[in-house]
Each structure stands twice: as C-alpha cells, then as structure tokens.
Amino acid sequence: MLKIEGLTVEVPGFVLRDVNLEIAKGEFFAIMGPTGSGKSLLVEAITGLLPSNMLDFEGSIWRNGKEITHLPPNRRNIGILYQDVALFPHMTVEQNISYGLRYCKGNGANAQKRFQFFVKRFDLGHILHRYPARISGGERQRVALARVLVLDPDVVLLDEPISGLDPLFQGDIRRLLRQLHSELGITFVMVSHDFEEVMYLAQKGAVIHQGQVVQQAQIDEIFNRPASTFVARFVGAKNVFKVRFENGLAYIGSTSVRIADACLVPDFDHIVIRPEKIVPVLDMPDIRTGLENMFWGKVLEMSYCNFSVHLKIQKDETIFRAVWPEIYVRKMGLHVGKKVGFAFNKADVSTFREAK
Amino acid sequence: MKVGTRMARRGSNTLFFAGLLGLSLPVLFLIFFPLGRLVTAPTFEDLVHAIREADVQAALLRSLLTALGAALVSLVFGTPLAYLLSRRDFPGKKLVEGLIDLPIMIPHPVIGIAILGLATRDTVFGRILEWMGIQVMGTYAGIVAVLTFVGLPFFLNTAKAAFESVPERLEHVSMGLGAGSLSTFFRVTLPLSWRGIVLGMVMCTARAISEFGAVIVVAYHPMLAPVLIYERFTAYGLKYSQPVAVWLIVISVILFVAMRFLSRPVRQW
C-alpha cells in the first residue's frame, strides 16, 4: 500500500537517513520518536510538502505500486490530519468538509453520498453552518477527520491526532479512530509519542531516532522487546542493563538474572525489563508462582503518580525501577530505606545487542 | 502589605505615568498643533471658494487617481512578490528585502531623477518605452511610476505581514485535500489576508498622495495637489495655499476612513 524505499532527505541542520517502511493496506501504523527525531519531516516527505529548493532528496515513495515521489501533494491521494486540526477559519463546517470534493475525480453523486455518510457518522448535522471557532475541540477534530475521509484517500496520515486535545475528548476520538479503522479498513499512519495512544490504536510501528528508523516491528514487540537502549528508554522500559552472559545466566555485576530461551538474541550484551513487569513479593504464594527471578533490595526512592507508585529499588550495586499499585505499597507499609522483595518472570526479560 | 507602603507605591506609579505623559506632550503638540492650525486657519468661505476653482478640483482629482493608480499597480505586481517573500527562502532574499525598503530612505527628488534617467533613449528600457509609445516626462504614466516607487515599500511590507499571519499549515492542508497552489492561494490565503492587503493599499495611497519631491522632477504638469499647494505658496503666500492643503487633508482622511472601514475585521468566525 505505502512503501518508502531508501528515503534520505537533507534539510539545513538535519538529515533523515535511509528510511525504509512498508505499510500494508488497512494497517494502523505508528511512527514514534522524540521531538526533533524527524517524524514531521518524514510526514512532509510522504505528503509531498517539502519545499524542493531546500533539500537533498533521495529514495522513492510508492502508493499502491505507483511511484508518487515526485507528485505534488494534491495528486498523491494521501490525507493528513494535523494535531491542531487546521480547519479553515473563514469557512463553515459544511464548507470545510466539502472543500476537497471539487477536486475529486468521479461522479458528484458518490461524493455527496460520502459527505452525507460522514456527517451522519460523526454526528455533525447540527453544526454544519457554524464556523470552527464556534464548535468544541472534539467537534473540530471530527470535522477535520470528515474533511479528509470524505475524499476517500488511500492513506490517512495522523500527525499527533489526540495529544493536543482536551483530555475530555481524547477518549472519544481514540475510540472513533479505532472504530473507523475496523469498520472501513482505512490505512492509517499515525505520528505519535503517546504510548497509550499507540498501544490502543496501532498494530505495527517504527521508532525514529536522529533521522533513522531504529526499530520497525509489531507494537507489542517494540514495547516488550526493544532493540536498543534508546528504544527501551523511549518506550518506558526503564530497566536497561549491560550484562555478561555466562552458564545460561545474565550477570548485572554480581546479580544473576534468568532469561527464557525464546528471549535470547545472539551475542546480546543488554537486557531490558519493563518496570510494570516487576512485582512486589507479597505474602501470597500464588503471586510468587512462576517468577523465576526473585530478589531482595532496599527502597531508594518512591514517587506517587495516578494511583501508582514509581519505585527505585537497590539490589547490591544495581538499581531496579518498578511501578506498583498504591494499594500494594500501603499494604506492605513501604517507605524509603525499607527492605523489600521483588520478582519478575524470565519470559519478561528481553535482550539486545547494542549497535556500535 | 502595609497601607502606607501601598500608597507610596501607587504614588510612585502615578509620578512615573505623569512623567511619561509630560515627555509625550511635545510630540503630540508637534503633530496636532500645526495641523490643527492649518485646518482652522482658512474661513469657511475660503474653503468653498477654493473648491469651486477648476484648477483645485482637477489637481485634487489627479492626486487621488494617480495615488490610487499607484496602489493598484502595487497590488497587481507587489502581491506576488509579497507572497513569495513571505513563503520562500532563497539566496539573496535579504538583499531583495533591503532593496524594497530603499525608496523609504533615499531623498525623493533622487527617485524622480532615477526614473527619468531610466526612461531616456540611452537605455534599453527607455527605448522599449518609446517603442510602446509610453512617455515618462510630464505624463500620468511618469507620475504613477514615481508614486508606485515611493508607495510600494509600504504595500509590500504590509502585504507580506498579512501573508505571514496566515498559517502555512492551512495551505498544506488545502493541498493535501487536492487543491493546487493557485486554488489554495485564492480559496485560503487570500480570503484570510485580504484585509492586510487592503491596509497595504491604504498605506501605499497615503504615501503616494502626499508625494511632492519625486513628482515635481517628473511632472510639474499635469499638476497634482501637492505641487499646486507649493506653487500657490511660492507665488501668493501661505493664506492662498492653506485652503487647498485643507481639502487635500479632508480627501485623504475620507479615503483612509473609507478603506479602513472596508478592511475592518468583521469576524463571522
């Protein structure tokens, strides 16, 4: 559906280097990366919005087997929804939604049908004659989405579609996107740094760092099996340790960690454990069952956040980070300096070899 | 905070603003007093008598039309340049921007001389103008040319700011929705920036209608209002030139109020 081959784009002060992505029809794909990693430049390259005078452009972009690298943005049939929605402020909701219809090939009756369908689907009938400044943030987002979808694009790019919204509307739009994806089979490519959003919506994704794709995989794999220290830290897997592997055990200093065979990567030199996978060892035998790595440590730091407690636990010279429900912490009477038992499953340890 | 401290602070604030006002008075005096004196000096009869004169009517009309002509030329040829400067970076952009502001800085008779110099038969441009049957010396074409020269920087800078105030993101969205560059300009950029463009025309007209130095070099005749005022001042004195000057001020004010009214921000959104 959408294929990017060897894309290298150089703009003053930044290079997007050798990007290769393949996004299947009907897929919900996430492009993740910190601010300044090159996500927006990649989006601009895909949509054809890069000013041709200020860049060094190599590689190719394909849509449905047709090369679109040199096509102007208006002939790519790729819709884009920006974080700030960018509705035309001088046009009513109706004029905004129907803006692109006059450029659509095919008969007008179909366009009208699609217009009616999305107005009804997004419940916009009662605000058609209002201007964008007179509608709510959630409505604006729906209007912007309808404006793109009414044109029946092959791919819809979502540039941080939810993070700018009032938290009140975030859940609604997230659900709407998910429903649209499952109902209409639209190919979405979403740029985001919100993990919750990515986990909820996307099936596959890529992480970009300093203009390069550093991991491209299923979303679960990126989150649970990061391929580098950067990806691990970026996706919130805070326990990243340099290790040596001896006799079937990984050693972080003197602490030995068991790892499931399925998680072993050839010649790995780092292990990763997500903080959510580390559990407190309570006085409950069923909780302990199956946890092959169990340690005692001392609580170094505790911070409360959304009914969870983020802990730093020191075991010898190693500091583990864990996120535990507040209720467990209260029950255990934890405080800084207290000794605590913690454990994790060997299948929850992932490994990677850091590129030189 | 103690009441005494608060009162002391309030007293110091009052003193500060009183100082600002005191220092502003000479500036306000300099602007309003001569103009106020000028406007109130002629009697009502003097004004009526002046406006009934055919020469005065013709000169005022000429000033108005040539200034509007300069604004129109600026609109047609300045708008693309203003848009280009607001949206694109290119080598030498700073130089172009500097050149645009040059007419503001150089003495205006020099502008007249420069235009005349370009239009002589010795230059290629002059020969092209001659081939086209266009004369610069003592013609409306010449007057509009110098007025455009002096007014263009005001139009360009205002129009450029108006274009810059339209988020480029909206143009990108428009293109993503299938519109080409031209369509995007007329459907998105222009509707969101036209008030600034009209304001640019007002600025350009304002500058052009008051021009004297460049005009007198290129065309003493057909006579514009500032030239007529100058002629009457040198030939007959202050009293005889004042009524014409008042009418020029009145026309300018009416014109600018009307254009400002047209370009007022009536936001439906």
Looking at residue B122, what is its pLDDT?
Answer: 82
Residues of B in contact with A134 (CB under 8 A): 269
- In sequence order, which ranges of chain A are alpha helices (DSSP H)? 39-47, 93-97, 108-121, 137-149, 167-184, 195-201, 219-224, 229-234, 285-288, 326-332
| Biggest CA-to-CA distance, chain A | 73
Mean pLDDT, range B39-68, rounded to an integer? 93
Q: Which of B226, B221, B222 is nearest to B209 (CA)?
A: B226
Pairing, β A308-315 against β A244-246: unpaired
Q: What is the mean pLDDT of chain A?
A: 89
Chain A residue nearest residue B172, CA to CA:
A49
Confidence class for position A55, pLDDT limits 50, 70, 90: low
Quote the CATH superfamily of domain B43-263: MetI-like (1.10.3720.10)
Check: CB of residue A85 under 8 Å from CB of residue A140: yes
Looking at residue A56, what is its pLDDT?
Answer: 79
Is there a contact between B174 and A99 if contact means CB atoms under 8 Å apart? yes
Span A20-47, pLDDT tens digits: 999 999 999 999 999 889 998 899 899 9
Pairing, β A28-32 against β A204-209: parallel
Does residue B136 carry a pLDDT above 60? Answer: yes
Span A286-326, pLDDT tens digits: 555 567 899 999 999 999 987 899 999 999 989 999 999 99
Looking at residue B154, what is its pLDDT?
Answer: 94
Does residue B1 carry a pLDDT above 70? Answer: no
Candidates B87, B166, B172, B173, partner chain A, best to mutate (most A CBs within 10 A)? B173
Rounded CA gap, A211 and B189, in Å? 32
Mean pLDDT, range A103-127, rounded to an integer? 88
Check: CB of residue A63 under 8 Å from CB of residue A1: yes
Rounded CA gap, B152 and B136, in Å? 18
Looking at residue A287, what is its pLDDT?
Answer: 53
Is there a contact between B173 and A80 if contact means CB atoms under 8 Å apart? yes
Percentage of chain B beyond pLDDT 90 is 66
Q: What share of chain B is helix, strand, coil (3-state, %, to 5)?
A: 80, 0, 20
Is there a contact between A82 and B169 if contact means CB atoms under 8 Å apart? yes
Mean pLDDT, range A157-171, rounded to an integer? 81
Rounded CA gap, A55 and A33, in Å? 22
Does residue B193 carry a pLDDT above 70? Answer: yes
Q: What is the mean pLDDT of chain B?
A: 90
Residue B269 has its nearest CB partner, among A51, A72, A132, at A132
Is there a contact between B174 and A148 if contact means CB atoms under 8 Å apart? no
Confidence class for position A4, pLDDT limits 50, 70, 90: very high
Is there a contact between B177 and A147 if contact means CB atoms under 8 Å apart? yes
Work out the burial of residue B31: count CB atoms within 10 Å of its CB; fewer than 13 is exposed, 13-18 middle, 19 or more buried.
Answer: exposed
Span A235-275, pLDDT tens digits: 989 999 999 998 889 999 889 999 998 888 888 999 999 99
Does residue B167 carry a pLDDT above 60? Answer: yes
Among A39-48, A177-186, A275-284, the least confident range: A275-284
Is there a contact between A88 and B170 if contact means CB atoms under 8 Å apart? yes
* Domains of chain B, residue spans: 43-263
Chain A residue nearest residue B180, CA to CA:
A74
Looking at residue B3, what is its pLDDT?
Answer: 65
Chain A residue nearest residue B168, CA to CA:
A86
Check: CB of residue A48 under 8 Å from CB of residue A71: yes
Among A163-167, B35-39, B195-199, B255-259, the least confident range: A163-167
Distance from CA of A307 to the nearest CA of B (A): 39
Helix (H, G, I), strand (E, B) or coil at A302: strand
Residues of B in contact with A51 (CB under 8 A): 88
Q: Cβ of A100: how many Cβ atoms within 10 Å?
A: 23
For A4, residues 6+ apart whose C-beta sits below 8 A from its C-beta are: A19, A20, A21, A22, A46, A59, A60, A61, A62
Helix (H, G, I), strand (E, B) or coil at B138: coil
Chain B residue nearest residue A133, CA to CA:
B269
- ipTM rounded to 2 decimals: 0.82
Span A86-114, pLDDT tens digits: 999 999 999 999 999 999 876 677 888 99
Percentage of chain A beyond pLDDT 70 is 95
Does residue A354 carry a pLDDT above 90? Answer: no
Distance from CA of A172 to the nearest CA of B (A): 23
Is there a contact between A131 and B173 if contact means CB atoms under 8 Å apart? no
pTM: 0.82
Token look-up 């943005």 returns A73
Confidence class for position B212, pLDDT limits 50, 70, 90: very high
Mean pLDDT, range A68-84, rounded to an integer? 90
Does residue A53 carry a pLDDT above 60? Answer: no
Percentage of chain A beyond pLDDT 90 is 63
Confidence class for position B205, pLDDT limits 50, 70, 90: very high
B269 touches chain A (CB under 8 A): yes
Does residue B5 carry a pLDDT above 60? Answer: yes
Token pair listed for B11: 């007293």
| A172 or B142, which is more confident | B142
Looking at residue A142, what is its pLDDT?
Answer: 92
